[in-house]
Amino acid sequence: MDEYRKSIPPISTARVGLSASLQSRENGEREFSFSVADFERVRKLIYQHAGISLSPVKQDMVYSRLARRLRATGMQSFAQYLDALENKGGDEWERFVNSLTTNLTSFFREPHHFPIFAEHLRKLGTKRAVRVWCSAASTGEEPYSIAMTVAETFGSNVSHISITASDLDTNVLATAQKGVYPIERVEKLSQERLQKFFLRGTGSQEGYVSVRPELRRMIDFQRINLLDSTYSVRGPLDIIFCRNVMIYFDKPTQYKILSRFAPMMQPDGLMFAGHSESFLHASDLFRSLGKTVYALASAR
């Protein structure tokens, strides 16, 4: 970390349509043949392995992302690649899932959640251990935003707080663990936060910033698939951030995951969801407090 010594200076739809769409791209326009059957097979496999429900309109995205895997593995067609994946996938299953997951994030995204989070932390106080789980960590901006909020709430007295940050995608987790970002990623943060929580890169790292080591040490990064039968994260949990990931699951899969979350939470625990997510279909498990914040249905 010798190249991060300086503090931050001021930083100024229908199946017929799908078939026609795919066929039009097969007439010499695509490197690999990609049939409707190939696409439906990909949809089935990603659902089985990651619970992700791909929309029928995602065929172009699927082709562009998996074509890279065909080139990397030397496969000549999607059918050949998918056959090899199913017969002896091994580590390729991880790369397959990584290729099809979407990771859109930013520091303090959906900022209305963080004052609510801070207030709940103050309510919990410092007399007992407090456990936080960020279940869709992506490249790390969300868990570091959580850690910054914890530090701003309790100062240096954070030993009672544990933060687990997890994701399905091992590539983005590696980025999160490093905590190094292009300087443009932090442009919207206040100067106070930049000075307090980041170091500026020099030399070969010019144009990058690094999260300060003391902030990184607050977070335990783990790979967790929300469809797994058991989770490595420890409970009981006081706060779960599960934002903008449920939108990739169908309602039965969402309910299955939420039914796993509920018994892991403290009676007064909070769950934060994404702005476009609603769990009315799981009202027996969680009740809305407004602003996409949920409490256990049993906590009245």
Between CA 167 and CA 178 the distance in angstroms is 15
Sheet containing 265-273: give its strands across: 219-223, 161-167, 130-134, 237-242, 265-273, 293-296, 286-290
- Per-residue tokens: 107: 């520091």
Residues contacting residue 26 through CB under 8 Å, at least 6 positions apart = 33, 34, 35
H or E element at residue 4:
none
Say which residue the tokens 């659902």 belong to.
47
Catalytic residue selected from 25, 65, 109, 287: 65
Q: Give the distance from CA 141 to its chain's centroid.
A: 10
Active site residue 41: no
User: Which is catalytic among the residues 167, 193, 200, 216?
Assistant: 167
Instruction: Work out the burial of residue 133: count CB atoms within 10 Å of its CB; fewer than 13 is exposed, 13-18 middle, 19 or more buried.
Output: buried
Q: Is 95 a catalytic residue?
A: no
Q: For 214-269, what is the HEC assignment? A: HHHCCEEEEECCCCCCCCCCCCCEEEEEECCCHHHCCHHHHHHHHHHHHHHEEEEE
What count of other Cβ atoms lies within 10 Å of the Cβ of residue 3? 16
Active-site residues, by number, are 65, 167
